[in-house]
Amino acid sequence: MVGYIVGLGDRHGENVLIDTQSGECVHVDFACLFDKGLTLKVPETVPFRLTPNMVDAMGTAGYEGVFYRTAQITLSVLRSHRETLLSVLGTFLHDPLLDWAAPITTTTRGEAIPRTALRPMDRGVPPALRGLATAKTRPMVARGKPQQVQTSRNPAPSVLERNAQALEMLRVVDRKCQGLHGAQSGTPLSVEGDVARLVAEATNVRNLALMYIWWLPHI
């Protein structure tokens, strides 16, 4: 549920691990955040990974047992603390080193990687921020004249563009927390209805069939 709210994608088998000591599910590689999976060459058609093998591991009740109830509780908590969540995510708006418009490329395993993440300048960047490419930090020189340096009082157009895109992504997160889906406004779903819809989408064979082959939707 948390991954769905923040738009975490690229959940193939190597990015969803199991702690052998506690049995907990451990997610790694947070390069594909804020629904960037929808912009890939092969768009992701499921809200999270809930493939047949994962459902089988849940026992005889499948996802209708503990998973279902846990998902409802988690989504309920996220909704009740919506303002706090948006406040935390809002810090991305004011980070001058993040480029919300950075295109994503994919590896042979279907992993989403921003192109700038392949440069040396990205070494040491926290994993949670690698999905958001670093912006240029030096003014560009054209015909011997440097471009106007941006300041807080004179932001560059590209900065305003990035902030607008960041605001739009936060609006998407806000709508998810309210149980609203799609571009058009409508009646919000209840927590139970929202979980039921998401599980149905995640387990739909037609949706899984459209996933990238190395995402391994069949296991």
CA–CA dist 62, 68 (Å, integer):
9
- Supply the pLDDT for residue 129: 42
- Supply the pLDDT for residue 71: 95
- Supply the pLDDT for residue 201: 95
Residue 121 exposed, middle or buried by CB count within 10 Å (0-12, 13-18, 19+): middle
- Supply the pLDDT for residue 140: 43
SS3 content of the chain, % helix, strand, coil (to 5): 45, 10, 45
Give average pLDDT by consecutive 10-residue segment, the chain, 219 residues.
92 90 89 88 93 90 92 96 90 65 50 43 43 42 48 52 77 91 78 95 94 91
CA–CA dist 136, 146 (Å, integer):
14
CA–CA dist 188, 118 (Å, integer):
40
In terms of pTM, does the model score above 0.75?
Answer: no
Please report, as a single letter, which amino acid is at residue 190.
Answer: S
C-alpha pair distances (Å), 14 with each of 63, 105, 126, 129, 208: 21, 18, 19, 19, 17
- Supply the pLDDT for residue 118: 38
Tokens of 59: 């026992």
Q: What is the CATH number of domain 2-133+154-215?
A: 1.10.1070
Give the HSE-up count for residue 95: Cα atoms under 13 Å, Cβ half-sphere: 16
Residue 131: partners with Cβ closer than 8 Å, 6 or more residues away = 30, 31, 32, 33, 34, 36, 104, 112, 114, 117
CA–CA dist 142, 139 (Å, integer):
10
- Tell me the DSSP string of 18-49: E-TTT--EEE----S-TTGGGGSSS---SSS-
Domain boundaries, the chain: 2-133+154-215
CB 127 within 8 A of CB 29: yes
- Supply the pLDDT for residue 100: 57
- Supply the pLDDT for residue 127: 46
CA–CA dist 148, 97 (Å, integer):
18
SS3 of residue 17 by DSSP: strand
